[in-house]
Homo-oligomer: A and B are copies of this chain.
Amino acid sequence: MSDKLIITIDREYGSGGHEVARRLAEKLGIKMYDEELISQAAFNIGYREEYVKSNDEKAPEINISPMFSGIDVFQSSPFSKIQDEEFRIIREISAKESCVIVGRAADYILSDEPHISIFIFAPVEDRIKRKLALIDINGTEPMTEAEMEKKVKQRDKQRRKYYEFYTDNKWGGRETYDVLINTSRSGINGAVAMIEAYINTAKGKDLLSDM
């Protein structure tokens, strides 16, 4: 088994998955890719970063099936070009270096590449509270609790639709991942510690070699 280590982290909005990925990558001394994928894709295909960002991790908003509108139309759209480029970058970086990749169906894109796939979640009430607390900390635009609840639910829905458009698996479904962690119970550092323990103990193991 190679010493390369690929960790994919998908996450509910506000559950701290990005922060888990950041701290984990820092501890392991490897790179993390999240928004970095946006800027890299924008640069490569020559689109404005803002435009790529607004289409990042979204399913296409087409109301008619590609069967009717013509699959070619969809495949040559700027939208599809963004997703294709992000997927290509994910394959490229994971072929050459250890890394932590956040979201973007990376676990599915890397099905044929050995990797550890994590899903980070938390009850919606706690995620709303966390996101509201982060507004105070980061000094970003204020939001009411109701507005934040709407945003959190909308983002989850977007991520689910994106994931299930590009893969055959269920977003957040137990069977899709190696480990699922509720950060409301573990905190960010608890999740990081578990993933580290997993890496140190479980690498290359399976149920039959360790019964």
Q: CB within 8 Å of B: which residues of A?
A: 15-16, 19, 116, 119, 121-123, 126-127, 129-130, 133-134, 137, 172-175, 177-194, 196-198, 200-202, 205-211
What 7 pairs between A and B have smallest CB-CB spacing?
A: A190-B202, A187-B205, A187-B210, A197-B197, A193-B201, A186-B202, A180-B180
Question: Once the chains bind, are A174 and B178 in contact (CB under 8 Å)?
Answer: no
The smallest beta-carbon distance between A206 and chain B, in angstroms, is: 6
Question: Once the chains bind, are A201 and B184 in contact (CB under 8 Å)?
Answer: no
Copies in the complex: 2
- Residue in B15, B116, B123, B208 whose CB lies within 8 Å of A175: B123
Complex: chain B residue closest to A123, CB-CB: B175
The smallest beta-carbon distance between A209 and chain B, in angstroms, is: 6
Question: Once the chains bind, are B175 and A188 in contact (CB under 8 Å)?
Answer: no
- Residue in B181, B188, B192 whose CB lies within 8 Å of A211: B188
Q: Which residues in B have their C-beta under 8 angstroms from that of A187?
A: 201-202, 205-207, 209-210
Question: Once the chains bind, are B182 and A178 in contact (CB under 8 Å)?
Answer: yes
Q: Which residues in B have their C-beta under 8 angstroms from that of A194?
A: 179, 194, 197-198, 201-202
